[in-house]
Amino acid sequence: MLTVLEPEGLYPDTIPEQEILGPGVRIIRGNAKTSIAELPDEMLAEVDGLMTLRMWVPAEQIARFPKLKVIVRMGVGYDRVDRAAAAARGITVCNLPDYGTQEVAEFAVLLALSLRRGLILYHDTQRGPDPAPWAVMQSPLHRRQEVQTFGILGLGRIGSAAALRAKAFGYRVVFYDPNQPNGWDRALGIQRVRSMDELLAQSDVLSIHCPLTRATRGLIGERELRLLPRNAVVVNTARGPILDIDALERVLRDGHLAGAGLDVIPGEPPAEPFPSLLRAYRAGEEWLRGRLVITPHIAFHTPEAWRDIRIKSIETMRDVLVEGRNTNVIPPGSE
């Protein structure tokens, strides 16, 4: 009998999982809080399939699974899994590319709109014992959507959904994604550019939607941020390490960028030493009022998305471990 492990005890039971896997597969749950290292060797010795949401799966933990055949990362990003170590063992790695698409796309556009229409600025300045005057405030953040270009870096499922939503609000939408085939722009009614620099030069809003890979780590640094038009806004709902947060602070401080919305930061959850920008944000420093929004990697969160995570994860495990299909398999040599 095959055995599948869900190490975090995410759900109150395993009824839907067992129904999908069928009688020939046993599913067990762990109670790990922060790491697979908390689980005993005797439990891991039985496991053929591993499903993990928050846990990292480094090489030293993979080595503790003598029978492991499949790892399903219960999310879109797969940077938490040491794929080189898995490939060396012949272990298949999968992800869930089709969960949370609507939620993250909506959140990205929401961050841009809330900054660009002053919602965050007026929220921040009307609170406390000394609110701003009950009047219009002048800010380089405020622009009509129809006169702006919404630039999307990475036009996968979430990027495509964000493009349609931004377009519906009146933005001119452009994207850069060398991995998408010709015609993708025509299907969505948006415009393609040939280089990232070309994208940056015209993006009044830059929304990041590429995965974290060796090629995209640190992709957006100070040089790239300064290519954006003055008073642009940056939104990141992808992965924190794609964007240099210290460079972002510098271009916000000197006024080149008007604002930023971050659902992700380089280290999560944040720990000392905290990024200087996060420290300034939490301290409520005056120069950031209305210009920065930081949320704790929750863009995906709805009850419906959590249901999708659960069902799509176990369906992927069934397809690959039990039925030998290639559902959501990440090729070992991909970035």
Q: What angle do CA 150, 156, 157 make, to 5 degrees?
A: 100
Residues comprising the chain, all counted? 335
Residues 6+ away with beta carbon under 8 Å from 188: 160, 163, 164, 167, 173
Lookup: tokens for 327: 């559902």
* DSSP states of 55-96: --B-HHHHTT-TT--EEEESSS--TTB-HHHHHHTT-EEE--
| 3-class DSSP assignment, residue 156 | coil
Q: How far apart are CA 202 and CA 182, in angstroms?
A: 21
Question: Where does 89-213 have alpha helices with state H?
Answer: 101-116, 119-125, 157-168, 184-188, 196-202
Residues 6+ away with beta carbon under 8 Å from 242: 208, 210, 212, 216, 217, 218, 219, 220, 236
Q: Of 73, 69, 5, 12, which is closest to residue 41 (Cα–Cα)?
A: 5
Residues with a catalytic annotation lie at: 239, 268, 297
Contact 236, 212 (CB under 8 A): no
| 3-class DSSP assignment, residue 274 | coil
Lookup: tokens for 110: 């929401």
Q: Looking up tokens 């919305």, which residue turns up? A: 261
Q: Of 97, 67, 71, which is closest to residue 2 (Cα–Cα)?
A: 67
Cα–Cα distances in Å, from 154 out to 176, 180, 293?
6, 9, 22
Lookup: tokens for 94: 């999968």
Write the DSSP symbol of residue 81: B
